[in-house]
Amino acid sequence: MATHIDGKALAAKVKDQVRAEAAKLSRRPGLAVVLVGDDPASQVYVRGKEKDCAECGIESFEHRLPAETTQEDLLALVRELNADSAVDGILVQLPLPAHLDEEQIIDAIVPDKDVDCFHPFNVGRMVIGEPVFLPCTPAGVMEMLREYDIPVRGKRCVVLGRSNIVGKPMAMLLTQSDGTVTLCHSRTERLAEITREADILVSAVGRTRFVTADMVKDGAVVIDVAMNRDENGRLCGDVDFGPVEQKASCITPVPGGVGPMTRALLMRNILTAAQNHQG
């Protein structure tokens, strides 16, 4: 039976550290959250981030805009927040309505306030191993591996999913920790043969029960990044949890695994931005 990696407990520990460091600053760190439209899932995410800010001693500035907001108006708000000295981090909740250009909006955020680490400048700094911020979900996974004394150096690591938000940066951080990494995707041939070689398997595909027990090596560490809904509407990940739990040495549950760590690492990025801004 696999050890469950408790993301909720570790996230609480990270937030305690952030709160203690934030209290030492001359002013409270500030996060501006921009929500365009009324997407229910996005509203839930924003409320969660505001709750985390309150727990960590971080000021939260909420900007709710109608779904018909124009690109020009959204860019004007981003420029205003870039210039606001009370704002250390800017988070534009994605996805945006279809008529808005997400890439242009992300590029408009000044890099030192890009606490999601989506800006090309911050992505480039991460790639060369000199990050200002780290992408929250991959950084949360690395924190979990460290906390549970799971070595990466020399291990075979397989990442399922090649998104710019999770898959690609996850592969980069594992590589920088001396793992031997294979990045897979929907067109990868003989996928199960590759995943069965993994000492550490990270799945970020977004498909319920995609990772089955026959795809997992005995004793592997299985990290489930996805947040899906099953046929009964319950939250679940990519991993067929029950059967895979019998083969893995460590596994992250969904919910209660990677998700809380993503939010906690966002709080750490906001603290880092505030420390940099306050010298």
Residues 6+ apart with CB under 8 A from 115: 31, 88, 89, 90, 91, 133, 266, 269, 270, 273
Task: Measure the CA–CA gap between 253 and 136, rounded to whole angstroms.
Answer: 18
Answer for the pair 217, 251: CB distance below 8 angstroms, yes or no.
Answer: no
Q: Which long-range contacts (CB under 8 A, 24 or more apart) does 229-237 make?
A: 236/208, 236/209, 237/203, 237/208
Answer for the pair 71, 43: CB distance below 8 angstroms, yes or no.
Answer: no
Task: Measure the CA–CA gap between 137 and 166, rounded to whole angstroms.
Answer: 6
Task: State both tokens at 53.
Answer: 């800010």
Which residues are the active-site residues? 49, 93, 116
Task: Measure the CA–CA gap between 108 and 98, rounded to whole angstroms.
Answer: 18
Answer for the pair 144, 258: CB distance below 8 angstroms, yes or no.
Answer: yes
